[in-house]
A and B are shown apart, each in its own frame.
Chain A
Amino acid sequence: GAVVSQHPSWVICKSGTSVKIECRSLDFQATTMFWYRQFPKQSLMLMATSNEGSKATYEQGVEKDKFLINHASLTLSTLTVTSAHPEDSSFYICSARVPSQGAPYEQYFGPGTRLTVT
């Protein structure tokens, strides 16, 4: 159990366009999901915490108007990168907490989405 999927797994887009990344919990309900970004050879950087039915909580330095997060249901959270720039090229990973499974507050990760902006 506790499977998290992401779509797409990779995407190439042109500068100035928007890209939507979906994160789904396949066999459980996720009230809280997390969005991370990881640049090459660096650790995970938490971008925002997404709560079902409410506004996301963004980390300092993350532009909420650029990285739109919607957590409209208990199984789906989306991240939209608006007006993408080449510096937004990165590996975006979502995760979810499943309080009833695994270690307390363990996070289950999706497979990640590699975004390349040309």
Chain B
Amino acid sequence: GQNIDQPTEMTATEGAIVQINCTYQTSGFNGLFWYQQHAGEAPTFLSYNVLDGLEEKGRFSSFLSRSKGYSYLLLKELQMKDSASYLCAVSDSNYQLIWGAGTKLIIKP
């Protein structure tokens, strides 16, 4: 079966750095997405990785290792507004998005 695993909840301090991990087992791979979802709102796109390595975009970076079926989202200089759920999703062989359950990130002052 297809499976995406990510931690349920993480807590970090304002101004710090946090890494959210995602491991996956899917039938085929056509890229991995990270989305941010604030409570009661729809997800918004953060990043896309299809090749191994690190993609940096401002305070957010995303890493992929296809051989390990592993990705992480790195958030630097955390701000209170970063409190949200972070969803990992993999595009499978049919270009269907398989979603993880999401990681709820709590930022404390």
Contacts and interface: CB of A to CB of B under 8 A. Distances in A.
B42 A111 contact: yes
B48 interface: yes
Given A103-B48, A105-B95, A107-B97, A44 B33 contact: no
A104 B99 contact: no
Contacts, number: 51
Interface string A94-110: 01000000111111111
Contacts of A104: 30-31, 48, 50, 91
- Majority secondary structure, B binding face: loop
B27 interface: no
Nearest to A111: B42
B54 to A, nearest CB: 16
Contacts of B48: 102-104, 106
B66 to A, nearest CB: 15
Interface of B: 30-31, 33, 40-45, 48, 50, 87, 91, 95-97, 99-102, 104
Nearest to A59: B96
B45 A93 contact: no
Contacts of A42: 101
Contact of A43 (B31, B42, B45, B101): B101
Interface in A38-63: 41-46, 49
Nearest to B88: A43
Given A42-B101, A44-B87, A105 B41 contact: no
A109 B44 contact: yes
Contacts of B41: 111-112
Given A44-B43, A107-B45, 15 more contacts: A41-B104, A42-B101, A43-B99, A43-B101, A46-B97, A46-B99, A102-B48, A104-B30, A105-B91, A105-B95, A106-B48, A108-B45, A109-B44, A112-B40, A112-B41
